[in-house]
A and B are shown apart, each in its own frame.
Chain A
């Protein structure tokens, strides 16, 4: 398993590589990507630095909102071409319109395409669908577990398509990525001073003024409704819905042969990015070490025990 790390400044490339990143990715201001944190500095310079260190460079072009006219779509294709010429090794894509654009132009993508988790793939048939469109890697959403992904992995392996997962500690949106209207206030209105926030990430906080009221209660189930209101209150004030991704799930993905492990919070400061990549490397070294020295069940248990008490690298 290799580590893919995001970056947003040229100066981050070398320290991230030193911290353990095997591949790098970024976003560029003129090619729309999901989330914040476009590259400061040129793509050509970034590719040169990454390649100079023996690392591949991917570019996130995974916005679903490619709001372009026919002419602008052609210009968009031109920008992809220029990015590839500048040294980008792959594009991370979410919008299906990109596949149709390539089909209509009768041209191959300027660089291989990775399917973004923003276009979530939860099953082998979705994987097959996008593999047929020509992708070479699938970034799995964190809302599919390792055990649920076995058939996806089979499908990918048969087609020579690589798989990528997120580090469970550093990527935690609990709603389905790419299908969420809580990120931007497009339907709801923030009370004053909170504009620009992401409702999916801002828990109301314990002891806050969140109010939960059961309505349309099924006959004879009022007591259950009351207990569920309590659970909902707890989840909406602290952390949201449960997470599928955890230490056990990571080890299972590792054992299944997931090809890449991703850290992708581009807006993190440089020092945080570097420290997180070190954490990824340490976790991967731990998994590899245990898997190489113990039978699988023992290695799995030991890994989970160590990661459960994980409090970060000193």
Chain B
């Protein structure tokens, strides 16, 4: 059985409701992905994160809290968020980390929720191409499984990849596949938001005015055939084509959860 999730990031239930999407989302999806994967400035305030999580848990849905790469400022915010999340039902909440510092912090805070390795960490254990997905070596997987992590998040590439997991057991390796946007690269200094830093200024952090909320952008680069999509600090590609024939074929490649992203 494939679980189905939707990534709503920082959107609150009230905003989903106002946009007329809440009812539909609650009907279609088992998992709600809240928080932020790529930019620490977009991480919702801890209290808001807890409120959003509690809302979906009350509706009988499960929640995965996404966390981005973090600087010291982000560590401080995550610490408060983890404290609040630790009061939620650990059987219905998961945490996705995209920074080993967040993993360390979760351990320090004694967080009991299940932890997943996010889309910025997959390179630590997979070699991913459009049409192949390969575990790089057995130790790479054990690095994570020995720390209780057995769910790994990837983006769909629009093709069903040939897989090679080197004989890893199904309990050790579960994949979550995000679609239709694949994150190509991320920068801390946002392409849209951060002003240029003059030579006499030593940046104390990444400061922006949340310009990413204004729009995402399609970029046609003269050197490549595909279009790029830029949202905030991350460059994406879009692969809208359905690449699997049945749930069975997904399960064969260890994908047992799909996460729909309405926006990049």
Chain A residues packing against B (C-beta within 8 Å)? 64-70, 72-73, 95-101, 104, 119-130, 143-148, 150-152, 174-176, 178-182, 185-191, 194, 197, 199-200, 202, 204, 208-218, 221, 224-225, 228-229, 231-232, 235-236, 240-244, 246-249, 251-252, 301, 304, 307-308
29 A–B contacts, CB within 8 A, in A order? A65-B127, A65-B136, A67-B134, A68-B137, A100-B140, A122-B69, A122-B70, A125-B101, A126-B104, A129-B100, A129-B104, A147-B204, A148-B71, A174-B187, A176-B69, A179-B123, A182-B235, A188-B225, A190-B223, A191-B224, A204-B221, A210-B222, A213-B220, A218-B215, A229-B217, A232-B217, A236-B191, A242-B189, A301-B200
Within the complex, the shortest CB–CB distance from B222 to chain A, in Å, comes to 4
Q: Is B195 among interface residues, defined by CB-CB distance under 8 A?
A: yes
The count of residues in chain B whose C-beta lies closer than 8 Å to any C-beta of chain A is 78
Q: Is B127 touching A100 in the complex (CB atoms < 8 A)?
A: no
Within the complex, the shortest CB–CB distance from B192 to chain A, in Å, comes to 5
Q: Is B263 among interface residues, defined by CB-CB distance under 8 A?
A: yes
Chain B 190-203 near chain A by CB (<8 Å), digits 1 or 0:
11101111111111
Known: A143-B188, A197-B223, A211-B219. A122 touches B71 (CB 8 A): yes
Q: Is B184 touching A188 in the complex (CB atoms < 8 A)?
A: yes
Chain B residues packing against A (C-beta within 8 Å)? 69-75, 99-105, 108, 120, 123-125, 127-130, 134, 136-140, 142-143, 146, 157, 166, 182, 184-192, 194-205, 211, 213-226, 228-230, 233, 235, 237, 263
Bound CA span A206–B39, Å = 28
Q: Is B108 touching A175 in the complex (CB atoms < 8 A)?
A: no
Q: Is B223 touching A202 in the complex (CB atoms < 8 A)?
A: yes
B120 to chain A: closest residue by CB:
A179
Q: Is B136 touching A204 in the complex (CB atoms < 8 A)?
A: no
Query: In the assembled complex, which residues on chain A have CB atoms less than 8 Å from the CB atom of B69?
Result: 120, 122, 176, 179
Bound CA span A251–B202, Å = 9
Q: Is A215 touching B216 in the complex (CB atoms < 8 A)?
A: yes
B140 to chain A: closest residue by CB:
A97
Query: In the assembled complex, which residues on chain B have CB atoms less than 8 Å from the CB atom of A70?
Result: 137-138, 166
Number of A-B residue pairs, CB cutoff 8 Å, is 271
Known: A129-B100, A246-B201. A213 touches B75 (CB 8 A): no
Query: In the assembled complex, which residues on chain B have CB atoms less than 8 Å from the CB atom of A182?
Result: 184-185, 235
Query: In the assembled complex, which residues on chain A have CB atoms less than 8 Å from the CB atom of B73?
Result: 148
Bound CA span A188–B226, Å = 6
Q: Is B214 touching A217 in the complex (CB atoms < 8 A)?
A: yes
Q: Is A215 touching B217 in the complex (CB atoms < 8 A)?
A: yes
Within the complex, the shortest CB–CB distance from B60 to chain A, in Å, comes to 30
Q: Is B214 touching A221 in the complex (CB atoms < 8 A)?
A: yes
Query: In the assembled complex, which residues on chain A have CB atoms less than 8 Å from the CB atom of B192?
Result: 228, 231-232
Query: In the assembled complex, which residues on chain B have CB atoms less than 8 Å from the CB atom of A304?
Result: 199-200
Bound CA span A228–B195, Å = 11
Bound CA span A186–B183, Å = 12
Known: A100-B140, A241-B194. A125 touches B185 (CB 8 A): no
B223 to chain A: closest residue by CB:
A194
Partner of B202, one of A125, A197, A224, A249: A249
B198 to chain A: closest residue by CB:
A246
Q: Is B202 touching A100 in the complex (CB atoms < 8 A)?
A: no
Q: Which of A152, A186, A301 has the most CB of B within 10 A?
A: A186
B222 to chain A: closest residue by CB:
A209
Q: Is A244 touching B130 in the complex (CB atoms < 8 A)?
A: no
B145 to chain A: closest residue by CB:
A100
Q: Is B189 touching A143 in the complex (CB atoms < 8 A)?
A: yes
Partner of B205, one of A148, A174, A212, A216: A148
Q: Is B136 touching A68 in the complex (CB atoms < 8 A)?
A: yes
Partner of A241, one of B120, B187, B211, B263: B187
Query: In the assembled complex, which residues on chain A have CB atoms less than 8 Å from the CB atom of B195?
Result: 242
Q: Is A247 touching B139 in the complex (CB atoms < 8 A)?
A: no
Q: Is B142 touching A104 in the complex (CB atoms < 8 A)?
A: yes
Q: Which of B103, B108, B223, B229 has the most CB of A within 10 A?
A: B223
Bound CA span A129–B104, Å = 6
Query: In the assembled complex, which residues on chain B have CB atoms less than 8 Å from the CB atom of A200?
Result: 185
B197 to chain A: closest residue by CB:
A242
Bound CA span A96–B141, Å = 9
Known: A214-B217, A228-B217, A242-B196. A187 touches B187 (CB 8 A): no
Query: In the assembled complex, which residues on chain A have CB atoms less than 8 Å from the CB atom of B203?
Result: 145, 147-148, 244, 249
B70 to chain A: closest residue by CB:
A123
Query: In the assembled complex, which residues on chain B have CB atoms less than 8 Å from the CB atom of A209?
Result: 220, 222
Query: In the assembled complex, which residues on chain B have CB atoms less than 8 Å from the CB atom of A211?
Result: 219-220
Q: Is A241 touching B190 in the complex (CB atoms < 8 A)?
A: yes
Bound CA span A249–B195, Å = 16
